[in-house]
Amino acid sequence: MHYIKMVFDFLLDLARSRQIIWELTKKDLKQRYLGSALGILWAFIQPTITVFIFWFVFQVGFKSMPVKGVPFVLWLCCGMFPWFFFNDAWMSATNSIMANSFLVKKVVFRVSLLPIIQIMSALLINSFFILVLFFMFAAYGYMPNIYNLQVFYYLFALICLIFGLSLITSTLVIFLKDIGQLVAMLMQFGFWATPIFWSLDMIPERWHWIFKLNPMYYITQGYRESFIYHRWFWEQGYTNLSFWLVTMALAIMGIVIFKKMRPHFADVL
Side-chain-side CA neighbours of 248 within 13 Å: the count stands at 8
**Helix/strand/coil for 27:** helix
Q: What is the pLDDT of residue 127?
A: 86
- Our measurement of the distance from residue 204's CA atom to the centroid of its chain's CA atoms, rounded to an integer in Å, reads 28
Q: What is the pLDDT of residue 195?
A: 87
Neighbours of 39 (CB within 10 A): 13
Is 198 within 8 Å of 190 (Cβ atoms)?
A: no
Quote the crossing angle between the two packed helices 238-261 and 150-175, to the nearest 10°.
30
Of 5, 6, 1, nearest in space to 261 by CA: 6
Is 223 within 8 Å of 154 (Cβ atoms)?
A: yes
Which pTM does this prediction carry? 0.87
Please report the sign of the dihedral spanned by the C-alpha atoms of residue 224, residue 229, residue 234, residue 238. Answer: negative
Neighbours of 104 (CB within 10 A): 19
Of 61, 56, 57, 51, nearest in space to 136 by CA: 51
Residues of the chain falling short of pLDDT 70? 1-7, 33-40, 42-44, 47, 59-64, 105-109, 269
Backbone angles phi, psi at 70, to 5 degrees: -110, 135
Q: What is the pLDDT of residues 75-121, one digit of tens each?
A: 888 888 999 899 989 999 998 888 777 777 666 667 888 888 889 88
Tell me how far apart the terminal alpha carbons of the chain are, to the nearest angstrom. Answer: 32
